[in-house]
Amino acid sequence: MNRFLRLVALSVVCASTPVLAQEQEPQKPQEPQKPQQPQEQKTESKHEVDVHKTSSGDLEITFLGHGTVMLKFEGKVIHVDPYSRVADYATLPKADLVLITHDHADHLDAGALGQVRKEGTTVLVAESCKGKVENATVMKNGETNTVFGILIEAVPAYNIAKENGAQPFHPKGAGNGYVLTFGDTRVYVAGDTENTPEMKALKNIKIAFLPMNLPYTMAPEMVADAAKAFRPAILYPYHYGNTDTAKLLELMKDEPGIDVRIRKMQ
């Protein structure tokens, strides 16, 4: 009996002993959540861009590659020789103005042209493109036009005939280079050409794009010869393929007043 009472008493003591809980840190009052600030969207283009000051505002040049550039000025977008192999034109701004220098497939690309056109796009083409682009205006060598207040001059772009009488890649009269005037800034995009007398006679060119890939256009020596003749303030070699641009830099290193800038324009 005594044993039974001891067991009952032990059970009562164990049941009444509190179980120690694990020690916990006191909870901190929650801070009110701050409203999330919208993150700035940064879209980085894979294409290089230069901005030039003019008397009428900034001129933005996007170097798309090969023989094609995109210009932005006073809210207008200009595409020169749009070419599908160098850019995704579905992601680029539509053109207010398109310039086509000649009818070779890397300059007159119907697919790229279709992607940049919109209702009201003005398209100016060279003589060799006549009848090949719908609703386009043909500019012959030496003609001028004004679009959106921008004066556009068609400069002959051609290969000088070789002594053996072979047909040049770019015959005279078929292709254009273009001089565009933005405020006080004249920009020359030469197209496919050699260092012709017409090129070397140009005046007051601030920015020049000169092609540099034999046998179709010019060697570095020919580009340097032309640049030293008409003296652009800024020279961009373009459409240069595998040509070593360092050769041009070497040829022009001691030429004051001409800034040679290399961009990705193979």
> Rounded to an integer, what distance in angstroms lies between the CA atom of residue 120 and that of residue 96?
7
Element (H, E) at 80: strand 76-80
- pLDDT digit string, tens, across residues 179-196: 999 999 999 999 999 999
Domain-embedded: residue 146 = yes
Domain-embedded: residue 237 = yes
Domain-embedded: residue 206 = yes
Confidence at 36, pLDDT banded by 50, 70, 90: very low
Q: Retrieve residue 58's tokens.
A: 């900034």
Domain-embedded: residue 22 = no
When divided into structural domains, the chain yields a total of 1
Domain-embedded: residue 86 = yes
> Rounded to an integer, what distance in angstroms lies between the CA atom of residue 217 and that of residue 212?
6
Domain-embedded: residue 9 = no
- pLDDT digit string, tens, across residues 117-151: 999 999 999 999 999 999 999 999 999 999 999 99
> Rounded to an integer, what distance in angstroms lies between the CA atom of residue 89 and that of residue 210?
23
Residue 75 pLDDT more than 60? Answer: yes
Q: What is the pLDDT of residue 163?
A: 54
CATH number where 214 lies: 3.60.15.10
Domain-embedded: residue 91 = yes
Bond from prior residue into 215 cis (ω within 30 degrees of 0):
yes
- Full residue range of the structural domain in which residue 58 is found: 48-260
Domain-embedded: residue 17 = no
The DSSP code sequence of 65-78 is ETTEEEEEETTEEE
Predicted structure pTM score: 0.82
Q: Retrieve residue 176's tokens.
A: 């254009």
